[in-house]
Amino acid sequence: MEDGKVNKVSGGMPDTVFECVISYIDDARDRDAVSLVCRRWYEIDKTTRKHVTIALCYTTTPQMLWRRFQHLESLKLKGKPRAAMFNLIPEDWGGYVTPWVEEISRSFSCLKALHFRRMIVMDSDLELLAHSRGRALQSLKIDRCSGFSTDGLLHVGRFCRFVIIAFR
């Protein structure tokens, strides 16, 4: 449907009105509900959503996320379940960030903020991220992650201009 055309679901209002309104909806659950109304609202949500939180990195693939949201500016990615903080899950259970970093380095050109939580982050992942997204990345949070060393952080510090790295 072209801009200015009237959508029957929207009660006679042009789609441009809904593009403006949907961009102000910040709650992810509300955005999910709006995107289920009709195909056009799904497409509007697809182009206007700026932040996504993946509660478990194995619930989707990086490629599926890229196909759905190509204009993401912020991504929060969680790996292991919370039980891992209490040593209830083996250290090598999973939660590897490598496939995500590879796709981020290839595809997510608008990404400015990245948050990894309870994931296994290798030095090579940080190096790839710094080389590919270093100039655009403004915030990198590594929260309760394992597998990396100061060598990986050196790459981030060397290639990222204005990145803020937060640890917890």
Which class would CATH give 13-49?
mainly alpha
What whole-number distance in Å separates Cα of residue 5 and Cα of residue 114?
Answer: 37
Write down the pLDDT at residue 5.
53
Residue type, position 1, single letter: M
3-state secondary structure of 70: coil
Mean pLDDT for the chain?
A: 85
- Residues with Cβ within 8 Å of 18's Cβ and at least 6 positions away in sequence, in order, are 7, 10, 40, 41, 44
3-state secondary structure of 166: strand
> Are 76 and 98 a contacting pair, CB within 8 Å?
no
pLDDT digits (tens, 9 = 90+) for 59-107: 999 999 999 999 999 999 999 888 877 888 887 788 999 999 999 999 9
Sequential DSSP letters for 1-63: --TTPBPTTTTT-BHHHHHHHHTT---HHHHHHHHTS-HHHHHHHHHH--EEEESSTTSS-HH
The yes-or-no verdict on residue 152 having pLDDT over 50 is yes
Distances (CA, A) of 34 to 10, 67, 74, 108, 110: 11, 19, 20, 24, 23
Top-confidence residue, 97 or 22 = 97
Mean pLDDT calculated for residue range 44-64? 92
Q: What is the pLDDT of residue 1?
A: 43
Query: Per-domain residue ranges for the chain?
Result: 13-49, 50-167
